Amino acid sequence: MDQIYENFYSTLIVEERWMMLLQGLGATMIIALCAALIGVVLGFLVAMVRATNEMTLRGKKCRSFGDVILKIIDKICGFYITVIRGTPMLVQLMIMYYIVFASSRNGMLAAILSFGINSGAYVAEIVRGGIMSIDKGQFEASRSLGFNYRSTMIHIILPQALKNVLPALGNEFIVLFKETSVAGYVAIMDLTYMANLIISRTYDAFFPLIIIALIYLLIVLVLTFLLKKLERRLRNSDH
């Protein structure tokens, strides 16, 4: 019992090491929130391009210069999704840090962009799937009422699609938050990096790793609770 208390004391109290974990948590939260924002914006833009191409040009010949541009952008978006989803997150992070940011070695910016771009590919496919799941009859009905394509997407299709994909988007954000634990590979002092730093000083891995595992678990539980509450509110708004 004395040994357990001594290890716990040396992990958190000595040299105020709990402040190190708090600092690491702050870095983790900044990376996760900024990357989630980038992922949502990028994902929605890519999803709109791919859904628009699929609904308006699939199986049809390009009749205008705008159609050609849309086709090209759609191919670029498809390539982006294939590459990002087909390569490991850690490899993408290291490429961003050691190659793209080789001159500046800005680890925080490299991590935010890496996680944001990675998340954007998954968000894009989630949102695109939600859009394509809406009955095509609703497109035709809205057009017969005088809505153009843009108005149909904004006022009719997207609100329904977002309700359908909200659980999947929530899971993606939770996965993104947990994936940030590899940010320490590019010398970012995140939660996992700080835990490893404490281990190197105390030579005890049990308490540092258990503590950060509990922190991650607690935050995931809070996020899950908030997402379920939002889902219930959206369902109640339908009645």
**Rounded CA gap, 19 and 30, in Å?**
17
**Rounded CA gap, 17 and 192, in Å?**
13
**Rounded CA gap, 147 and 173, in Å?**
33
Helix (H, G, I), strand (E, B) or coil at 133: coil
**Rounded CA gap, 20 and 96, in Å?**
26
pLDDT in tens, 141-155: 777 777 777 788 887
Residues in CB range of 127: below 8 A, 6 or more apart? 43, 44, 47, 51, 161, 162, 165, 169
DSSP one-letter code for 15: G
Rounded to 10 deg, the angle between the 2-12 and 191-202 helix axes is 130
Complete DSSP assignment for 137-148:
HHHHHHHHTT--
Q: Give me the mean pLDDT over the 215-220 stretch.
A: 93
pLDDT band at residue 36, thresholds of 50, 70 and 90? very high
pLDDT band at residue 135, thresholds of 50, 70 and 90? confident
CA distances from 12 to 56, 157, 217 (A): 59, 51, 19
Question: Which of 3-17, 105-119, 168-182, 221-235 shows the lowest per-residue confidence on average (mean pLDDT)?
Answer: 3-17
What pLDDT was estimated at residue 158? 83
pLDDT in tens, 38-71: 999 999 999 999 988 887 766 667 677 777 888 8
| Residue 11 · residue 205 · CB < 8 Å | no
Q: Give me the mean pLDDT over the 186-201 stretch.
A: 86
pLDDT in tens, 63-91: 777 778 888 999 999 999 999 999 999 99
Phi and psi at residue 104, to the nearest 5°: -100, -30
pLDDT band at residue 239, thresholds of 50, 70 and 90? low
Select, from the ranges 15-24, 87-96, 178-187, 227-236, the one with the highest average predicted confidence (pLDDT).
87-96
Reference 51, options 79, 73, 82; nearest CA is 73
Amino acid letter, residue 164 = N
pTM, 2 dp: 0.88
Amino acid letter, residue 122 = Y
